[in-house]
Chain A
Amino acid sequence: MLFHSILFYVFATVMIGAALGVVFARNPVHSVLFLVLTFFESAMLWLLAEAEFLAIVLVLVYVGAVMVLFLFVIMMLEVTIEAVKSGLVRYARLAIVISLVMAFQLIQLIWFRGSGGEISGGFVPNPEGYDNTKALGAVLYTEHVYAFEIAAVVLLVAIVAAITLTMRKRPGLKVQNIAEQVAVRAKDRVRIVKMDAEKKS
């Protein structure tokens, strides 16, 4: 168990360091990379808690897709460092208030739960043959199937909305009709003209 605790503290320390890096890094691209590191470390913490499905999906969805698009946008925008720095000072007071409120809520939650005796001192390993993916699936598709389906529909609506927003027709937009391009035949485009040689030899 000692090894387990050492790993927990190592991952937690790196995670907090990376989270601070997200806020204090001067270059926005570095901030995004620190955020990627934060996600990785929280995935590690989940792995320590034997929640491998959540850990891997966190890496797959957030690190593999969401953060890539984030990086994409930030690289394209070329945010200047001065603008970011002035923002840090301007929003610092608000950020401190929000984080204090969140910390207060978390502490209160742990306190209340703790006094009820629900939180045990350490981590209890799952029995051999426990499959986190199977366990999650069993709960999601039986007990919480309505909530799960509603979430799926909400996501679908969001996808449709996002696509409709980008599908607006601008005037003067030139688009290719792929089917037309593929269906084209040589005789529609090229006309072979037979003519006699100009010079008689």
Chain B
Amino acid sequence: MKALVPDFAINIWASFPPLLQYLISTTTAILVVMISVILIVAFSTYFERKVIGSMQARVGPNRVGPLGLGQPFADVIKLLIKEIVIPSQSNKFLFVIAPLLSLIPALATWAVMPLHPGFVIADINAGLLYVLALMSVGVYGVILAGWATNSKYAFLGAMRSAAQIVAYEIAMGFALVGVLMAGGSLNLGVIVAGQEGGLSQWFLIPLFPLFIVYWISGLAETNRAPFDVAEGESEIVAGFHVEYSGVAFALFFLAEYANMVLISGLTAVFFLGGWASPFEGWLFLQGTPMQWLAAPSVGWLFAKICFFMYSFFWFRATFPRYRYDQIMRLGWKVFIPITIIWIAVEGVMAWLRVGPWATLGG
């Protein structure tokens, strides 16, 4: 500390009252997390276009800046200076506030995400419930946008999206019951700490079916392809955000990608050990220049998020859109039974202390 920060700065910091110290440190943490999330979101749009481009044997964006890396900023500036058109027959207040309602929950959930060993903005006991509650609130943005627009297409998109999100939330919640049983706590930090000790300790192995269910439900929650019937360009033009333009549309776009990054992060935290390293406990790495591979860090979380983001884009490039009744069937008649059965299996196995289930339960 001494070498990095001069003495007078430490003295000034110490002279602040504790409440002010708390306020400053929390605000800084929030700003750092928010700016990184927004930057990840911006570059994931670029990443998506590059990935899908290469899968379809195209080049993707390559005009703005080196390798086209300036593309996200060009897009943002374009959307910022466009006019916001508000339909004359719409409900103006709700029309304007709906994009915010879908963005705020996606960003607020990062508060309980354990990003680095010992670093989380709000270390609360009921973190898992908080995540579920905010995810369920996110649906209001879509419904209100669809209704406030006062257009049949937007309304149809909103209805589809609402029914889909409510249906998949149940499967997601049940999958998280399995995680909760395995981690023995609702606190996300404790859940990650319970998965330390290398690849074999990750909840991915004992909870594999729940992992798959959570992953696919996450895809459906974020209205991404192949579950993007809320937009359905070929049927209902663009669904709930058909009348949105400029910044208002940019906010919906931002919310969708923020939700994807969030779901990726949560899947990593719940099933792939969050910031824990897969190579933890590999003794031959010790003392070598590759030592950092075995250490837990935010880099591992970032790598896992990148993997899931890549899978989101991969699915979008390869799968055709689901038919609406089949989406409902998958959610209600396939996923919910799978999760209920696996929770029972997990309980019995952990009780009998068999195989990979032996160490579960905190």
Contacts and interface: CB of A to CB of B under 8 A. Distances in A.
Chain A interface size band reads 20 to 34
B169 A64 contact: yes
B125 interface: yes
Contact of A72 (B124, B132, B162, B169): B162
Given A63-B136, A133-B186, A52 B143 contact: no
A64 B155 contact: no
Contacts of A56: 126, 129-130, 132-133
Contacts of A53: 126, 129
Label chain B's interface by main secondary structure.
Answer: helix
A60 B133 contact: yes
A12 interface: no
Interface string A68-81: 11011001100000
A37 to B, nearest CB: 11
Nearest to A58: B133
Contacts of B132: 56, 60, 64
B326 interface: yes
B220 interface: no
A134 to B, nearest CB: 8
Nearest to B186: A133
A173 interface: no
A65 B136 CA distance: 7
A86 interface: no
Interface residues of B, number: 27
B83 interface: no
Nearest to A29: B147
A29 B149 CA distance: 13
Interface in A168-187: 176, 178
Contacts of B163: 72
B161 to A, nearest CB: 11
Interface of B: 91, 94, 124-126, 129-130, 132-133, 135-137, 139-140, 143-144, 147, 155, 159, 162-163, 166, 169, 186, 325-326, 329
27 contacts: A29-B91, A33-B94, A52-B124, A52-B125, A53-B126, A53-B129, A56-B129, A56-B130, A56-B132, A56-B133, A57-B133, A59-B133, A60-B136, A63-B137, A64-B132, A64-B133, A64-B139, A65-B136, A65-B166, A68-B143, A69-B166, A71-B143, A72-B159, A72-B162, A131-B125, A133-B186, A178-B326
Label chain A's interface by main secondary structure.
Answer: helix
In this complex, the member of B91, B133, B140, B326 whose beta carbon has the largest number of chain A beta carbons within 10 angstroms is B133
A35 to B, nearest CB: 12
A60 B143 contact: no
Interface in A79-138: 131-133
A75 B162 CA distance: 12
Given A68-B136, A72-B163, A178-B326, 9 more contacts: A27-B91, A53-B129, A60-B132, A63-B133, A68-B143, A68-B166, A69-B166, A76-B159, A132-B126
Contact of A65 (B126, B130, B155, B169): B169
Contacts of A132: 125-126
Nearest to A36: B140
A29 B132 CA distance: 24
Interface in A118-168: 131-133
A59 B126 contact: no
Given A29-B147, A133-B125, A133-B126, A68 B139 contact: yes
B325 A75 contact: no
B276 to A, nearest CB: 24
B147 A75 contact: yes
Contacts of B155: 75
Interface in A1-44: 27, 29, 33, 36
A178 B140 contact: no
Contacts of B147: 29, 71, 75
